[in-house]
Amino acid sequence: MIRTDAPMADGRVLRYYDETPGRVPPPDPRDLPAVEHGSVMRFDVLTGEWVTIAAHRMNRTHMPPADQCPLCPSRPGGEPSEIPADAYDVVVFDNRFPSFGETMTEVPAEVDGNPLWPQRPATGHCEVMCFTSDHEAAFSSLSLERVRTVIDVWADRTAELSATEGIEQVFPFENRGREIGVSLQHPHGQIFGYPYVTPRTAQLLTRAGAHRQRTGRDLMEDVLTGERKAGHRVVIDGEHWTAFVPAAARWPVEVHLVPHRAVPDLAALSDEERTELAVVYRDLLGRVERYFGPEGADPPYIAAWHQAPVHTGRDLTRLHLQLFSLRRAPGKLKYLAGSESGMAAWLGDASPERIAERLREVGA
């Protein structure tokens, strides 16, 4: 993998990650204004969580036709895209409509001058990552070489963002499908550099800390050992990775992929672990696509890479993937209605054991 950085017309950075040498980045010919964003974070005193308000994202690009896709290579004679090259392997660039910005305008320390509601600029980092220049591709259709390149890019971005001042957690993820809410159909993901430890991770660290104090053991290790021992929710059990449906799965289709070795993030994976991950991860995405059969093709899913925070709790949790779909049957979605949205009390639509059985059935 060869990385080449190039400036974009508005001062953002475009990073080419090529599988062969020889990249000479062409200049960005567009006349773009500087990126402006005024995101703020306000503290919710009722939950103890930060809420980011990014009103400028209302104006972001939404579902353009394929011939105007900003993530495709620029076409001769056409409107320039975000990538001025005529082809690429993998690219990562700073989001033009970021939820978190590197430089922000100062805001009052309190909303309405009331100490009940602290607020601060939403400083952080948001990147767009294109997995291929092929607009019609899906992640599961990529070559193993390309999947391995994507993994190496995730590791590179994790390492660089983790070393950036003010970043507390790095989150690579892919949203796929209109039902999820994607605004661009081109195969891509995003990488967030949060300025705080996210609520889900904070809750996991609390649970893991209590488990260690009570038992002296690692919570994620005990979960992994328990699932492998039980076996009936395991989907794939490799040399370095195990994929299983969690015993208390929330989503109609949900699978976790956990490394056997306790590593905090993607950057810490060995060469052998990355090689096997390319095979297992592509396999899992294909199984989710086939889960509902031909009538349920092209399912919406979220692939979320949970990594340990940059500065705290790195010994309490480990890297793991949470892959899930909100489709409960062909043409039917699981809506987070009253109980889930209002009370955060989840009601499952499928037996975890049956989910795992089905994912095993649809293996290639």
How do residues 157-176 score in pLDDT, each as one tens digit? 999 999 999 999 999 999 99
In a domain, 206, yes or no: no
Q: Which domain holds residue 278?
A: 211-361
Are residues 167 and 31 part of one domain?
yes
What confidence tens digit (pLDDT) does each residue in 110-137 have? Answer: 999 999 999 999 999 999 999 999 999 9
* pLDDT at residue 153 is higher than 60: yes
Residue 57 maps to a domain? yes
Query: Would the annotation count 69 as a binding residue?
Result: yes
Question: pLDDT (tens digit, 9 = 90+) per residue, 5-38?
Answer: 999 999 999 999 999 999 999 999 999 988 877 7
* Residue 316 resides in a domain: yes
| Statement: residue 100 has pLDDT above 60 | yes
Which two three-digit tokens encode residue 128? 């767009």
Residue 244 lies in a domain: yes
Same domain (yes/no): 251, 118: no
Q: What is the pTM of this model?
A: 0.95
In a domain, 280, yes or no: yes
Share of the chain above pLDDT 90, in %: 81
CATH number of the domain enclosing 129: 3.30.428.10
**Domain annotation covers residue 48:** yes
Give the length of the chain.
Answer: 364
- For residue 60, pLDDT beyond 70: no
Establish if 204 belongs to a structural domain.
no
Q: Are residues 77 and 102 in the same domain?
A: yes
CA gap 319, 312 in Å, rounded: 14
Do 298 and 237 lie in a common domain? yes
Distance from C-alpha of 25 to C-alpha of 82, rounded to nearest angstrom: 13
The answer to whether 188 is a known catalytic residue is yes
Indicate the average pLDDT of the chain. 93
Query: Are 352 and 251 members of one domain?
Result: yes
- Residue 37 annotated as binding? no
pLDDT of residue 37: 78
Q: Token pair for residue 22?
A: 């020889």
| ∠ Cα 145 146 150 (to 5°) | 120
Rounded to an integer, the average pLDDT of 310-332 is 94
Q: Measured between alpha carbons, how far is 170 from 154 in angstroms, rounded to an integer? A: 10
Query: What's the pLDDT score for residue 363?
Result: 92
The predicted-structure confidence for 254-273, as pLDDT tens digits, reads as follows: 999 999 999 999 999 999 99
Structure confidence at residue 184 (pLDDT): 86
Whether 205 maps to a domain, the answer reads no
| Total domains present in the chain | 2
**Residue 130 assigned as binding residue:** no
**Which of these is catalytic: 37, 125, 188, 256?**
188
Q: According to the model, what pLDDT value does residue 299 have?
A: 87
Same structural domain for residues 239 and 352?
yes
